[in-house]
Amino acid sequence: MFKIQDYIRDIKDFPREGIVYKDITPLLQDPAATRKSLEAFLSFLEGEKIDKVVGIESRGFFFATLLAQELNAGFVPVRKPGKLPYKTHQESYSLEYGKDILEVHCDAIEKGERILIHDDVLATGGTAAAACKLVEKLGGEIVQCNFLMELDFLKGKEKISAYKVVSLISY
């Protein structure tokens, strides 16, 4: 029986002491595990029309591009400041240790387009909430927010409770 958790490696004290980093590279290195994860995400979207898949930098890009391909949708990268070459909209958000900013191209989403947002992990929810605000600023309709994993104890889902949230595994 396939269990995604079997492909997630814990790295203690990364990127700093006291953090247990959930490393998804073993999952990505196994084509069958990647395919099964992709199929699981797609099962939550049956019957939904998706125009664009928004991937959040950087680990969100991996499955976001695969989902876009499978859904015959466009891919939209949401990145940290200074990484996108064209005019952008920005949204700042809070982290446990400060603030950060996300950007999206100002022409990436058209009014009324149906959007799937994807990232690898839902932790405190700040990054996901900022991505949702960017999508809505451009006129997109958020259909669902996808995450490979959710860290329940950080209560990030509360920040995006207005949207359908799907996580394949929870810790």
Residue ranges of domains in the chain, CATH in brackets: 47-170 (3.40.50.2020)
Closest CA to 135 of 114, 155, 121: 114
pLDDT the model gives residue 141: 98
For residue range 66-79, list pLDDT tens digits in order: 999 999 999 999 99
Q: For residue 6, give both structure tokens.
A: 């079997």
Other beta carbons less than 10 A from residue 20's beta carbon = 12
pLDDT for the residue numbered 94: 85
Question: With 70 as the cut, is the pLDDT of residue 126 above it?
Answer: yes
- Asked about 70 being catalytic, the answer comes back as no
The pLDDT of residue 84 is 98
| Res 101: pLDDT | 97
Reported confidence tier of residue 113, pLDDT bands at 50, 70, 90:
very high
- Where is 101: in which H helix or E strand? strand 98-105
Measured at the alpha carbon of residue 39, what is the angle toward residues 170 and 41, in degrees to the nearest 5? Answer: 45
pLDDT at 97 over 90: no
Average pLDDT of span 106-128: 97
- Given a cut of 70, is residue 96 above it in pLDDT? no
Mean pLDDT of the chain: 96
Structure tokens at 127: 């990054």
Task: Please say whether the dihedral angle defined by the alpha carbons of residues 64, 20, 154 and 91, taken in this order, is positive or negative.
Answer: negative
**Is 46 tagged catalytic?**
no
Q: Provide the percentage of residues in the chain whose pLDDT is more than 70.
A: 99
Annotated catalytic residue within 39, 59, 113, 136: 59
The predicted pLDDT at position 64 comes to 98
Stretch 85-101: mean pLDDT: 90
Exactly one of 16, 17, 46, 96 is catalytic; which is it?
Answer: 96
